[in-house]
Amino acid sequence: MKRRVFPRCLVGVAVAAVACNAVLGIEEPNLIQPRPQDATGSEGGGAGSEGGGAGNDGGADALSPCSARGDPPGTMVLIPEGTYMMGWEAGTAAERPVHPETVAAFCMDVTEVTVGAYEACVGAGTCLPLNPDAGAQCNRGAARGDHPINCVDWNEAIMYCAWAGKRLPTEEEWEYAARGTDGHRNPWGNEEPIDHLCWMRPEAGTCVVGAYPKDRSPFQILDLAGNVLEWTSSPWRPSYDASTDNKYRMQRGSAHYGTGGAVVGADGAVPDAGTNIRATVRSSLGPTGRAPILGFRCALSP
């Protein structure tokens, strides 16, 4: 029997018992179990693979440690070891204190895991299909094959990445992938978004992965500011100098928030771009929560 779960959604530190269910349609899992992208390249979809290809300007050699797992070229990008300033001093308490963070080299998917890639895992017998009663904004089927898989919980995301020979990124890796060492507010820089990302469109629902090439990080990773929020492997901490709370898992990024679709905020207000797409914004949800504005991408250690 299915029961509705009202996730704890946090924007910064504010606990928003968000209009998440109005928006999110979250359910307890009767659904899935994940593994990685399919070797056909459907993972990144056409657009995502293009984005990965464009991201290859750094050289094909940089991709070889990531491609060795059987993904087609351009599916993942190798991000070199580096140190950056994590957090945003002018942000919420959850984004402070700003501190240096050193990250070892790792590979990250250029795009979010797609419906097509996830369904390959279902076909392999590792992942379970979405519950047929999942909401209309939960992506499935060939018509949504190049859209990000959503409505999967943290455990299912872990399982999918393991199936692919990968893992979820940590939140430290995620922010480094989004900002690089220059400390930009957004993946593309500090300028305000105009037509940069899948966010606040009149249409409800997600976009084809990689459809907004301006939503591109210094490492050529796509869709880190828009489309769907993304699970990380990290437990929640209400600030960087606070203890971890293992009841919740970190999500990073922002989501499509089409005006015909999800709106987040305890008061039902539409999120503000300045505070919601910033690459340092942190939010959390229990590991069994799932939502139409939440997906994931995978990483691996070369």
Distance CA 223, CA 212 (A): 7
Range of the domain at 85: 9-300
Helix, strand, coil percent values for the chain (each to nearest 5): 20, 20, 60
* Helix H or strand E segment including 232: strand 229-236
Q: Let me know if residue 2 belongs to a domain.
A: no
Q: Let me know if residue 31 belongs to a domain.
A: yes
Q: State yes or no: pLDDT of 224 exceeds 50.
A: yes
Q: Let me know if residue 285 belongs to a domain.
A: yes
Q: Let me know if residue 196 belongs to a domain.
A: yes
> Which pLDDT tens digit goes with each residue over 82-124?
999 999 999 889 999 999 999 999 999 999 999 999 999 999 9
> Which pLDDT tens digit goes with each residue over 149-179?
999 999 999 999 999 999 999 999 999 999 9
Q: State yes or no: pLDDT of 35 exceeds 70.
A: no
Is residue 106 within 8 A of residue 79, CB to CB? The reply is yes
* Helix H or strand E segment including 286: none
Tokens of 158: 């872990």
Selection from 183, 178, 186, 172 nearest residue 104 by Cα: 172
Distance CA 285, CA 264 (A): 14
Q: Let me know if residue 1 belongs to a domain.
A: no
pLDDT average, residue stretch 178-189: 92
Q: What is the DSSP string of 101-159?
A: EEE--EEEESSPPBHHHHHHHHHTTSSPPPPTTS-TTS--SGGGTTSBP-S--HHHHHH
The whole-chain average pLDDT of the chain stands at 76
Q: Let me know if residue 4 belongs to a domain.
A: no
Q: What angle do CA 209, 44, 61 make, to 5 degrees?
A: 125
Q: What is the CA radius of gyration of the chain?
A: 17
Our count of domains for the chain comes to 1
> Which pLDDT tens digit goes with each residue over 135-147?
888 999 889 999 9
CATH number of the domain enclosing 209: 3.90.1580.10
> Which pLDDT tens digit goes with each residue over 256-301?
764 443 444 333 444 455 457 789 989 999 999 988 989 999 999 9
Q: Let me know if residue 205 belongs to a domain.
A: yes
pLDDT average, residue stretch 60-64: 46
* Helix H or strand E segment including 175: helix 171-179
* Helix H or strand E segment including 47: helix 45-54
Tokens of 292: 């139409």
Q: Let me know if residue 50 belongs to a domain.
A: yes
Tokens of 196: 């940069």
